[in-house]
Structures are given as C-alpha cells and as structure tokens.
Amino acid sequence: MSLRLLLVDDHAVVREGYRRLLERRGDLSIVAEAASAAEALAALRTHPPDVIVLDLALPDMGGVELIGRLRQRAPSARILAFSMHREALFAAQALKAGALGYITKSSEPAVLVQAVYRVAAGERALSPDIAPELAMALLDQADDPLHTLSPREFEILRQLLDGASHADIGVRLHISAKTVQNSHYQIKRKLGARNDIELARIAARHGLDGS
C-alpha cells in the first residue's frame, strides 16, 4: 500500500522536483500539492495524507504556525518540515509545533526520501547538516531566551522583524490585532527587551531575522 503525501511549497518548480524524486519509489504517492497554507488546509480535507512535506516559507502563513493547525485538523498525519533554514532554532520550533522531522533543502535527495519513510513510521528525522547543532541548541536552551517562545510567538516575532504591523500579522495568522499586540508584549518580556530596537538586537544576536 502506497504512502499518501501532501507537498506544500510555494514554488511550483521545487514541488515538481521533489514530486519526481519521491514518486520514483513505487510505494510513495503524491495525492495533493499546495502553494500556500490555505491550499494545504483545503487539501487536507479533500486528500487526507499520511505524510505532509512542508516548506516553512509560505506567502500567507508561517510554516511553524501552519504545522500546529495541520496537527489540530489531522492528528494522524505526520509532518516533515523541508526548509532552506539551517539554523537550529527553526528546527526546534518546527518540532515543538508538532513536526516529526526537519530536513534542510541543501540535503542530498536520499536524505529527504529516507526522512519521509522515518516520519511515516512515527520516528524522528533530522538532516545531518543540522542534527548536531540542534542537539547542542536543545542542551543549551536555558541560555537562549528565544527557545522560551511558543511556536506562535516565534512566528509573530519573525513577522515583526520583517516590519509587519499588528493588523497585518493578525490577518495572516487569523487572529485579532489585539492578540498580536499582547503577544508582542509577552515576547519582549520573555526576551528582556525594553523596546523594539532591543528586540531586534536580541533576535539578530541569536541568528534570527525576519526572512
């Protein structure tokens, strides 16, 4: 029986590339593709997958936030984050949100294929270029205040750093501007920032920007 996969990436060329890669295996079947969070959530209803291969950079919602929503709507689906970000913080937040694996886009094709099988079996999967850094980051997380942020706070911080307003972030995350404002305050409190300039400096010091 084939494993049913949902591919989520806003670049059609990228999706086509790993569609061809994955469908070379006779037991992997791409049942749907999505270019946005909205399309991914819709596809989840019409084509329930076993594994979701998900890019973290989407036009309408951050991938970390989307992971949580996908887990709420389809608890049995396994999620594999497939991202350009090689920073351990992104992997840690994706796993915290509910992903079982995190593979960087600089990985060898075989790494992605094997990660799909591992995640489908309910196992953790990390690409070799990030696994050691993630292990160290998790050990040292008490010294890194960014690890105290929830996945939603992490997404809000990324968008604040990118210059988005409370209203814009609220629209993208489907929450109120007031909720974003409250989260903004909590983020500054957790990171020990007195204002947004200090917030940006702290984030940059820990390797995080709005991209």
144-205: same fold as 3-138?
Answer: no
The yes/no answer on whether domain 144-205 falls in CATH 1.10.10.10 is: yes
Say which CATH architecture domain 3-138 belongs to: 3-Layer(aba) Sandwich (3.40)
Pairing state between β 125-126 and 101-104: parallel
pLDDT score at 55: 94
pLDDT for 203 beyond 60: yes
| Domain extents in the chain | 3-138, 144-205
pLDDT tens-digit map of 74-87: 999 999 999 988 88
Q: 0.85 exceeded by the pTM?
A: no
Reduce the secondary structure of the chain to three states and give it as a string.
Answer: CCEEEEEECCCHHHHHHHHHHHHCCCCEEEEEEECCHHHHHHHHHHCCCCEEEECCCCCCCCHHHHHHHHHHHCCCCEEEEEECCCCHHHHHHHHHHCCCEEEECCCCHHHHHHHHHHHHCCCCEECCCCHHHHHHHHHCHHHCHHHHCCHHHHHHHHHHHCCCCHHHHHHHHCCCHHHHHHHHHHHHHHHCCCCHHHHHHHHHHCCCCCC
pLDDT tens-digit map of 99-137: 999 999 999 999 999 999 999 999 999 988 887 777 666
pLDDT score at 138: 62
pLDDT tens-digit map of 52-68: 999 998 988 889 999 99
pLDDT for 211 beyond 60: no
Residue 88: pLDDT band by 50, 70, 90 thresholds? confident
